[in-house]
Amino acid sequence: MNPLTAALEPLLAHLQPRLVDIYQDLHRHPELSMQEHRTAGIAADHLERLGYAVTRGVGVTGVVGVLRNGDGPTVMLRADMDALPMAEQTGLPYASTATATDGDGQTVSVAHSCGHDLHVTWLMGAAQVLAGARDAWRGTVMAVFQPGEETAQGASAMVGDWDHLGLPHADVVLGQHVMVGMAGTVRYRPGVILSAADSLKVKLFGRGSHGSQPQTAVDPVVMAAATVMRLQTIVSREVSPLDSAVLTIGSLQAGTKENIIPDDATLKLNMRTYDEAVRTHLLQAVKRICCAECDASGAPRPPEFTTLSSYPMTDNDREATARVAAAFHAQFGEDAREGKPMSASEDFSVFGRTWGVPYVFWFVGGTDPSAYARAQAEGALNTLPGNHSPRFAPVLEPTLKVGLQAMLSAAAAWLCVAADTPRNVAP
């Protein structure tokens, strides 16, 4: 056991009940992307009490806490803070009933259905252990609480503010995410672990008319239907079977009444890729097909493309991942495993990509072990409530402890001095 996770053990009895309270409070009070004012205040106040130099309002609501502890590398630990515009259906006694106004001015339900409340809690706990066990490590720790991950805004907004606020660049960037998986396990992967994601809105222009006189119209509904069908051929006919990609049209909106041919139709689509060349091809193919279908329909003008969000691939540095993996195997034994890439996406890598430094991202299982084992035996793992499900609810035992151990183990791969260094652990 490394000195930092050893320092965690005597603190757990004191620390865990407080962290459970923090987690349940955050869960009850979720906030939408770039609106995380309350959550950010809780994190910032916590860091200041621990002696971190805290900068608030980084990238709108982001928080950066810096703790310098002698010579050594600068290690960044990151947690995202935002929740989702959806209603919770977990039945938990601390379930969210919150509502908020979204970017379109609509009142929506809000829930922490992706686990970011647990991420914040983990980082607050790790920050406390690091502050209380300074004899066990040397270097600089940056605790970064990031807004707007769900909208791909937050990391870019933070790095945009970074240099003019005089914040240090990290030597390595570390982050983790609770996912469906047996609680008590940790999964890592060198190389690509999360896909790139691109979301587009495509507006197709027609010419409206009465439903009884289609000859006087250019029907955007037919145009949109043909476009949807043709877009589905990109992955099946333009991407090699040895590569992987997903293209989903999640929204098709047109018209208001059955006997009115509308003037336009709007598609919203999402693409996931694991290779930059494949990503570029998909983006070009979508525009080519949309333009061609509009031209074939005699549309009065070309389609209009709007980027809704864009996430880079999360491509873990191999050498840095090897260091993290060694720390995990020392800490968790067989419960630390190399996993497969996931089709989810993250803006976590923006920090490492911007500064040109290695980054490592990994997963912590949050599913009740008995429920996971039962579903696995029945071949029904896909039925377990996953991230973004209204029923997603990580079990806190042992997930809370394991997430703390994972974050501290990974940090210790860079920060820790000799394992026999004496520790003066403050609660």
Residues tagged in the binding site annotation for Mn(2+): 114, 116, 150, 177, 388
Catalytic member of 31, 36, 80, 346: 80
| Beta carbons of 120 and 149 less than 8 angstroms apart | no
Show the tokens assigned to 247. Answer: 């293209």
DSSP state for residue 165 in the 8-state scheme: G
Amino acid found at 221 = V
- Report, in angstroms and rounded to the nearest whole number, the Rg of the chain calculated over CA atoms: 24
Extract the annotated binding site. Answer: 114, 116, 150, 177, 388
> DSSP states of 76-98 as a string?
EEEEE---BSS---S--TT----
Count CB-CB contacts under 10 A for residue 260: 13
Where b means 16+ CB within 10 Å and e means fewer, 310-330 reads bbbbbbbbeebbebbbebbbe
Catalytic member of 31, 88, 149, 150: 150
Show the tokens assigned to 258. Answer: 């059955």
Q: What is the dihedral of CA 394, 398, 404, 408, to 10 degrees?
A: -130
Query: Is 150 annotated in the active site?
Result: yes
> DSSP states of 241-271 as a string?
TTS-EEEEEEEEEE-SSTTEE-SEEEEEEEE
Query: Which residue, 336, 333, 345, is CA-closest to 308?
Result: 345
Distance of CA 397 to the CA centre of its chain: 22
Query: Is 163 annotated in the active site?
Result: no
Backbone phi, then psi, for 184, in 5-degree steps?
A: 105, -10
Query: Which residue, 142, 132, 73, is CA-closest to 416?
Result: 73
Question: Residues 316-319: contacts with CB within 8 Å, 24+ apart?
Answer: 316/188, 316/189, 316/190, 316/191, 316/192, 316/193, 316/359, 316/360, 316/361, 317/190, 317/352, 317/358, 317/359, 317/360, 318/190, 318/191, 319/358
Q: Which residues are catalytic?
A: 80, 150
